[in-house]
């Protein structure tokens, strides 16, 4: 009799742990997709990266990922290269922050693809020595950023398609090392006032 009670108690504990674990995972996934804070940060440090951001491509325009002094980076040797971003929800803006080295001071740009066109990008300048673009530099690495308004013509199936361009990079026998790509996505946060209508819309679209 005593053994039966212990068995029943053990089964209840196991059920509780199982249900709690499942609910915790579901809640975490829901939060990541829901993004109630209105801000989502996505990174590729070349040592690790979010599943939401692709690796740089094509491979034949890049050197393999290297490590130097604890910093991981990948070198762009031929222009242009690309990366893609999956966004779990609709966001209003995207701030892209790139940490890199560009010894030749070659023009360096980032663009976001017009998904209705084969070759049309909205370009923003990261570095241009002719125009004196302001940069933050620390320990030999420069940091530059670009802001994008996420219009519908820039998004397809929750995907954003980025280009990194440095014209004549190969012809000048120059290279650009990239050690971090960080994207900060922002939208209106969830509040007590807008929670119910936005939650209904969330359920409708999922």
pTM for the structure as a whole = 0.76
Pick among 3.30.830.10, 2.60.120.260, 3.30.1330.20, 2.40.110.20: CATH of 39-187: 2.60.120.260
The listed range with the strongest mean pLDDT (29-33, 36-40, 128-132) is: 36-40
Among 96, 100, 82, CA closest to 163: 82
Is residue 1's pLDDT more than 90? no
Are 7 and 14 spatial neighbours (Cβ–Cβ below 8 Å)? Answer: no
Q: CA 10 to CA 17: how far, in whole Å?
A: 11
Strands 71-76 and 66-68: antiparallel
For the stretch 106-152, pLDDT in tens is: 999 999 999 888 889 999 999 987 776 657 788 889 999 999 998 88
Tell me the pLDDT band of 25, cut-offs 50, 70 and 90: very low
Q: Output the CA–CA distances (angstroms, integers) from residue 20 to 17, 36, 47, 152, in the order listed.
A: 5, 22, 33, 39
Is residue 198's pLDDT more than 60? no
Q: CA 24 to CA 37: how far, in whole Å?
A: 19
Tell me the pLDDT band of 30, cut-offs 50, 70 and 90: very low
Q: What is the pLDDT of residue 44?
A: 96
């Amino acid at each position: 009799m005593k053994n039966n009670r212990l068995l029943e108690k053990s089964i209840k504990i196991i059920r509780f742990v199982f249900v709690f674990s499942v609910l915790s995972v579901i809640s975490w996934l829901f939060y990541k997709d829901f993004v109630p804070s209105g801000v989502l940060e996505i990174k590729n440090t070349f040592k690790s990266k979010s599943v939401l951001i692709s690796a740089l491509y094509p491979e034949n325009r890049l050197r393999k990922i290297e490590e130097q002094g604890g910093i991981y980076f990948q070198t762009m040797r031929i222009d242009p290269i690309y990366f893609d971003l999956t966004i779990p929800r609709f966001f209003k803006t995207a701030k892209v922050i790139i940490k890199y080295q560009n010894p030749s001071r070659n023009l360096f740009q980032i663009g976001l693809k017009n998904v209705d066109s084969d070759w049309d990008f909205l370009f923003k300048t990261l570095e241009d020595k002719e125009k004196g673009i302001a940069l933050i530099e620390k320990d030999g690495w420069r940091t530059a950023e670009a802001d994008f308004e996420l219009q519908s013509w820039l998004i397809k199936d929750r995907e954003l398609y980025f280009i990194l361009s440095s014209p004549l990079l190969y012809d000048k026998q120059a290279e650009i090392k990239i050690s971090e790509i960080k994207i900060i996505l922002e939208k209106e946060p969830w509040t007590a006032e807008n929670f119910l209508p936005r939650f209904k819309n969330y359920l409708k679209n999922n």
